[in-house]
């Protein structure tokens, strides 16, 4: 019974620690989401500005020359025993020569748009990482809560009932043994034997 109560206490401590970690990651995620939205809105404002200055056909032709986006690296780390993804963009801010279009033949507005979207990509990756961590932490909090409730509502009451049954059974046997001894003593005294108590 003591082990079960200790397991219940450990699960409660784990749940509390997970909830504290969840709130910390939620605060971080809220900040990262705000940064990502601001970065994306700046990038789209720059895109609209570039479209106004260059025209949509010139902007489209430059976009076709752009090399694919930087490499995204996925790894995992452990937070309180939970695998949480680490999403990192390798060099989201590329040098002008690595973007794939001619620097000489394009306007600096295009460079500004590309840089803005590269910045936004890095911030979105950070946001996605924190959101994935929140999701995994929520799932783990729920699992821990279910286990804690199962111990509290099912396992511990069953153990208490089993202990009561065993105690009742042992007391009943003890009463039967005492009654049997009294009967044996009474028979022995009837026959003339002396029994010591």
More confident residue, 184 or 135: 135
First to last CA, the chain: 36
Residues spanned by the domain of 25? 10-147
Residue 166 placed within a domain: no
- The pLDDT value recorded for residue 194 is 63
Contact 12, 147 (CB under 8 A): no
Contact 156, 12 (CB under 8 A): no
Residue 168 placed within a domain: no
- Torsion sign over Cα 150, 154, 160, 166: negative
Q: Answer yes or no: is pLDDT of 167 > 80.
A: yes
The tens digit of pLDDT for each residue in 74-106 reads 888 887 788 888 888 776 666 555 555 555 566
Average pLDDT of the segment spanning 103-113: 70
CATH classification of the domain holding 68: 1.10.287.3240
Contacts of 188 (CB under 8 A, 6+ apart): 194, 195
Q: Answer yes or no: is pLDDT of 37 > 90.
A: yes
Residue 182 placed within a domain: no
What percentage of the chain carries pLDDT values higher than 90?
Answer: 30
């Amino acid at each position: 019974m003591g082990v079960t109560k200790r397991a219940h206490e450990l699960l409660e401590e784990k749940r509390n620690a997970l909830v504290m970690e969840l709130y910390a990651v939620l605060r971080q995620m809220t900040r990262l989401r705000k940064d990502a939205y601001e970065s994306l809105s700046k990038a789209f404002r720059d895109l609209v500005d570039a479209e106004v200055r260059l025209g949509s056909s010139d902007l489209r032709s430059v976009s076709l020359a752009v090399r694919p986006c930087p490499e995204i690296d996925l790894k995992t780390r452990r937070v309180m025993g939970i695998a949480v993804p680490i999403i990192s963009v390798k060099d989201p801010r590329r040098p002008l020569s690595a973007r794939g279009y001619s620097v000489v033949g394009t306007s600096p507005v295009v460079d500004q748009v590309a840089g803005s979207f590269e910045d936004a990509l890095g911030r979105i990756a950070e946001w996605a990482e924190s959101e994935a961590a929140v999701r995994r932490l929520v799932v783990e909090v729920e699992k821990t809560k279910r286990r804690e409730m199962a111990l509290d509502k099912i396992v511990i009451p069953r153990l208490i009932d089993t202990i009561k049954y065993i105690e009742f059974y042992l007391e009943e046997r003890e009463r039967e043994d005492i009654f049997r001894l009294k009967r044996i003593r009474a028979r022995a005294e009837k026959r003339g034997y002396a029994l010591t108590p």
